Amino acid sequence: MIHLNQTTANTTKMDIGSKIKFFRIQKNLKQEDLAKGIISVSYLSKIENNLTSPSEEVLQLLCKRLDVSLAEQQDENIFEELLSWYKSMMSSRGEKVHTLYEEFSNKIQSADTKTYMYFVLFELRYYLYMKNLSHSKKLIEKLQQFMDVFDVPMHYYFQKFYSIFEYNHNNFNESLVHLKKAEQLLHRNPIIDKFEEADLFYLFGLTYSQTMKVPLSITYTTKALQAFQSIYDFKRSAECQVLLGISYRRIGEYDRSEESYILAQKLSESLGNSYLQELIYHNLGKLYAMQNQQTEAIREYEKSYDLSKNEISLRNVNSVYCILLEYDKMGNQLQCKKWLQIGKDLLKYHQDDIEYHLYFTFHECILLGEYDRFDEIFQEKGLPYFQDKGIQEPIIIYSEILAQYFESTYKYKKASYYYSMCYRELKKQTFLQ
């Protein structure tokens, strides 16, 4: 965690401008609403930008309308509790995280301005943790209005949380932009908690993995693993091993990939963590699939699916999709139809997820032999979506399927187009360019 210089002092008249601006925005008031009957809007603007010192009478009237005090002391106990709450979000202790949020929501109104601002920042992280992206977006928009009064650590947290928001929208390139800003800000703070540094490195590894920049993913994930191991965080160490396994698989280092998964499996078993076990089974399935061991791959995918099938989660949709892919490779249409229907049923709970709706639509076209429709949807919706999100793997999979179909029907121009597309994406993935 970044440690702040937390001196106790009365708020000066110049400092109060930032405080007034913060609480006005927090209470969803326009400058006109706050200034009405007290001062002009232009004068309030100067106060909020710390360009002028108002009289005591004006300060009292503004603060009364905002229901805040003129003088304050930073409550270091509440501040440390806030940091502890934030850290618990990265340790995935759901019950505790939610309980602490309810407690802070009730008592934070009496905290000093700086602590309150950190609460709003960590509230953003809380809604990201809860996967409430619509509320997260509103908080980002609110926070952007008073970024000019952030200190360096506040800017760091905002950029980090913004990157997580973009990641959850599959905007991986945008996520990296914010991560790089966060990394620059992190290095401007001399005292950094090892856990915070490790978590940022892990986010880099995760995001670079999504953009298929495997060497960078390995570099950052290894740094994260070393940091988590140094503080004996076995759960996060296991997550790093899974991510390393994915990267090694992508560059054909199958033995190293399996070794990472086995290490992760040992850790997850010792922790009794079913989510990690589900993740490991899924990625073992991917490893076997890469080696064309379809039976073994399906076995591992089904283990993963069995652990998550009672949840309304995209994780079980992903497992179903991967099982469908393997049965398609085997030419088992009966099983393909079965798992396609399971996937479509699950997607009723995820109407807004474009990616998986595309996947199952493509496979429905394949099973029905509607390749012209498949080609049309891929060109109009699939390809633009995957390119915009920087997702290469489905472009490789579906361009090859379309290429093979058009070759078999003697449409060589279209076949050549899709083979070229597949080759270009493979070059990006295997670093041959």
Query: What is the value of pTM for the model shown?
Result: 0.72
Which residue(s) pair with 192 in the sheet?
2
Average pLDDT over residues 88-97: 76
Average pLDDT over residues 272-299: 94
Residue 353 corresponds to which tokens in the numbers above? 């997820």
Closest among 224, 264, 188, 4 to 112, alpha carbons compared: 4
Average pLDDT over residues 381-409: 93
Say whether pLDDT at 50 is over 60: yes
Q: What is the pLDDT of residue 137?
A: 96
Average pLDDT over residues 342-353: 91
Q: What is the pLDDT of residue 111?
A: 61
Q: What is the pLDDT of residue 287?
A: 96
Residues whose CB falls within 8 Å of the CB of residue 103, separated by 6 or more in sequence, listed in order? none
Q: What is the pLDDT of residue 288?
A: 96
- Please check whether residue 298 is in contact with residue 338, taking contact to mean a CB–CB distance below 8 angstroms: no
What are the C-alpha distances in Å from 155 to residues 14, 144, 150? 21, 10, 6
Average pLDDT over residues 43-72: 80
* Predicted confidence band of residue 5 (pLDDT cuts 50, 70, 90): very low
Look at the alpha carbons of 193, 132, 165, 276 in this order and tell me if their dihedral is positive or negative.
Answer: positive
* Predicted confidence band of residue 11 (pLDDT cuts 50, 70, 90): very low
Residue type, 123: E
Residue type, 29: L
Residues whose CB falls within 8 Å of the CB of residue 325, separated by 6 or more in sequence, listed in order? 289, 397
User: What count of other Cβ atoms lies within 10 Å of the Cβ of residue 248?
Assistant: 21
More confident residue, 21 or 286: 286
Domain with CATH 1.10.260.40 in the chain: 13-73
Rounded Cα gap, residues 276 and 270, in angstroms? 11
* Predicted confidence band of residue 77 (pLDDT cuts 50, 70, 90): confident
Average pLDDT over residues 231-248: 95
* Predicted confidence band of residue 429 (pLDDT cuts 50, 70, 90): low
Q: What is the pLDDT of residue 221?
A: 98
Q: What is the pLDDT of residue 309?
A: 83
Which residue(s) pair with 177 in the sheet?
none
Q: What is the pLDDT of residue 368?
A: 94
Residue the block writes with tokens 């061991």: 293
Q: Which CATH class is domain 75-192?
A: mainly alpha
Percent of the chain with pLDDT over 70: 91
Q: What is the pLDDT of residue 8?
A: 34
SS3 string, the chain, reads CECCCCCCCCCCHHHHHHHHHHHHHHCCCCHHHHHCCCCCHHHHHHHHCCCCCCCHHHHHHHHHHHCCCCCCCCCHHHHHHHHHHHHHHHCCCHHHHHHHHHHHHHHHHHCCHHHHHHHHHHHHHHHHHCCCHHHHHHHHHHHHCCHHHCCHHHHHHHHHHHHHHHHHCCCHHHHHHHHHHHHHHHCCCCCECHHHHHHHHHHHHHHHHHCCCHHHHHHHHHHHHHHHHHCCCHHHHHHHHHHHHHHHHHCCCHHHHHHHHHHHHHHHHHHCCHHHHHHHHHHHHHHHHHCCCHHHHHHHHHHHHHHHCCCCCHHHHHHHHHHHHHHHHHCCHHHHHHHHHHHHHHHHHCCCCHHHHHHHHHHHHHHHCCHHHHHHHHHHHHHHHHHHHCCCHHHHHHHHHHHHHHHHCCCHHHHHHHHHHHHHHHHHHHCCC
pLDDT (tens digit, 9 = 90+) per residue, 135-192? 999 999 989 988 877 888 999 999 999 999 999 998 999 999 999 999 999 888 755 7
* Predicted confidence band of residue 2 (pLDDT cuts 50, 70, 90): very low
Percent of the chain with pLDDT over 90: 57
Average pLDDT over residues 57-83: 75
Residue 100 corresponds to which tokens in the numbers above? 């602490």
Rounded Cα gap, residues 296 and 252, in angstroms? 18
Say whether pLDDT at 3 is over 60: no
- Of the spans 48-57, 181-190, 374-383, which averages the highest pLDDT? 374-383
Q: Which CATH class is domain 13-73?
A: mainly alpha
- Considering the chain, what is the average pLDDT of its residues? 87
* Predicted confidence band of residue 384 (pLDDT cuts 50, 70, 90): very high
